[in-house]
Structure 1
Amino acid sequence: MPVVPATDEAIAQAAGALAEGAIVAFPTETVYGLGADARNGTAVAKIFAAKERPRFNPLIVHVPDFATAETLVAFNDDARTLAAAFWPGPLTLVAPKRKDCGIADLVTAGLDSIAVRVPGHPVAQALLKTAKCPIAAPSANRSGRISPTEAAHVAAELGETPAMILDGGACARGLESTVVSLAGAEPVLLRLGAVPRHEIEAALSRPVARAEDDAPIASPGQLSRHYAPQTPLRLNAADVQPGEVLLAFGPDPLPCDSKAINLSRAGDLGEAAAKLFASLRELDEAGSFGIAVMPIPDEGLGEAINDRLRRAAKAR
């Protein structure tokens, strides 16, 4: 299916495709998602097949509002605080699922919890309200590859597999949602993302522990190798070696005789986050033997950016 502008008519067609058990790609403020009716196990299985995704890796369920989320999961006071502070927006909350939630077991990978989010993107909101179903949607790319932030990235990754690819322009945030588990006694940060850790902690008025690297997988984004280009990454580079291209940051980029992209000459971490995946994709297509990555401050959104880069650089 060709990429189509996300008009009201196209959104209605996409909702119809979901109702028929098809999968569709659509924009959120974070990255493009590959969605199916979360209640339809056969449709959800098409997501796993299209992405070549491990079945033990659960999916995020997207809903239009907090009230709908509460029909699927049991929220505690911390979850309500975070939802009030960040929804709609790039925050995913993992909470115990209700017995009558109707969500397909494949979505949760057999867990007793569901990862749920209320996206803020107008196209995602329109699709959810038109489809009138919870939409299970990981990023619209092959498993482990660079997440798509433009409709063309989805087409390059998945071709004709989705029934439709709704084009809503470039994603504003460019990093996946932050994921916080409220399934236990205390909140746990499962995935760094578009909401910085310090904002989560400010909303809760206390520090939040981060899941260990070897913790059981309870949400997307916990695999050790993820978000990866085909070209190897060399992190915290102090120079650019012959045959490498450069992913730069800040006003003083390293000297480079080949292709270079600066995530933000102004040193703006928000701008860098929004450009990260598209820049990695472009450098990956440059035909070099390596990508030199300049240091990026490990604070605020930089913590999530560095998390993605470390996972992308993991040995094959």
Structure 2
Amino acid sequence: MLAGLGGWLPPRIVDNDELSRHLDTSDEWIRTRTGIGQRHVVDPGMSTVDMAVEAGRRALHSAGSRDVDALVLATATPDQICPASAPQVASRLGLGNIAAFDVNAVCSGFVYALATAAGLISAGAACSVLMVGADAFTTLLNPKDRGTVPIFGDGAGAVVLRAGEPDELGAMGPFDLHSDGDLAELLIVPAGGAKQKTSDNPEDHYFSMQGPAVFRHATARMAESSRTVMERAGWTVSDVDRFIGHQANIRILHATAKQLGLPADSLVVNIERTGNTSAASIPLAMVDAVNDGTLQAGDRVLVSAFGAGLTWGATALRWPDITPG
């Protein structure tokens, strides 16, 4: 069950007007197409691990205990290709020699890592797990690409899961997870991995996205996965109090809600202030929604995400009485 919650954003804020000074864009263009007004960006020298440590510390404080048996880090921007970044996060948090590993499902990473953490607990391999979603995604972007630079920001969000009873507030699940590797080219950084370590074309080292196709797949897949989770949970659309989707684009969120038949006021949205923070977006939205009173204990919450891979998934929970750290 969900027992702790925390988030952290880099202090540097880049608003749309600042981007407009070096990109062929404008505040109106960005807001109309994405719903984003600003994003937080890492300064040189700040890393994914740095952000994950800050968010993790807050989630542990929220949980009221530092006693965790494992740490799962959802990220597509590890500090190094090898080793994984999660052990460094655990070490800096002073958690001892616990199990720690990365999960890379990009913008679906939080949902995938939640399922992984819940599975560790269900299998008896852990009684409590710190799960962090953190990405310095702006480090993957071509600074001249107006199709991606306005969309993404950096940040970290974290939760603590602990063993509990299925009828407790905060109990996680059911989960629904999927992928389609045939469409990997829709969102990709071509170079840097084992297949193509380097490239003479600088563009190959930057993230690229086929926006219209991603929009279609994101809305269809998030809605499909959400329906599956509602059916498994025994919920109807009218049972859902809040829908927390990956904060990729305000139009994707509204289109997904419309496909599901959910009212617009059920959406939890903070993208205007954060941009798309990849694996951090859902927990950061949770933090804001608790702090502003949008999320209340007992609310039936539907969570869904879509990302590169392609990957997508959903889960559901009754919201616990929790205060972010």
Indicate the structure with greater helix content: 2
TM-score (norm. length: structure 2): 0.29
TM-score (normalizing by structure 1): 0.30
Higher-RCO chain (CA-CA 8 Å, sequence separation at least 6) = 2
